[in-house]
Amino acid sequence: MAASAWITGILYSALHTGITFEISFCGGNVVDQFFCEIPQLLNLACSDLYLIEVGFLIFSSFLGLSCFLFIIVVICSDLQSSPENPL
């Protein structure tokens, strides 16, 4: 489970970084916060980012639900294999 959390975190951050290098920026290049993070960079972008944001939302939901379902399956299989089977 720890490896899957590491893999999904690396994959998610790699997708964000890749998309950040693909979008075009216009206007000023001043970020109003100390940390230069993805949402602040998306505010500076000229291109239409609606489909990218929806794609990230769907991908994030899929990752979150798949990890949750994996944990539920592991817990249920542990409960069924225990000697004092409560189910």
Taking only the tens place, the pLDDT of each residue in 28-87 is 666 666 676 777 777 777 777 778 778 878 887 887 888 889 889 988 888 887 667 655
Q: Which residue has the tokens 């769907």?
A: 58
Cα 22 to Cα 6: distance, rounded to the nearest angstrom: 24
Reported as half-sphere exposure (CB side, CA atoms, 13 A), residue 52 has a value of 16
Q: At what angle do helices 2-22 and 50-81 cross, to 10 degrees?
A: 180
Encoded tokens for 5: 């959390």
The model scores a pTM over 0.75:
no
Summarised one tens digit per residue, pLDDT across range 13-32 is 887 788 778 877 777 666 66
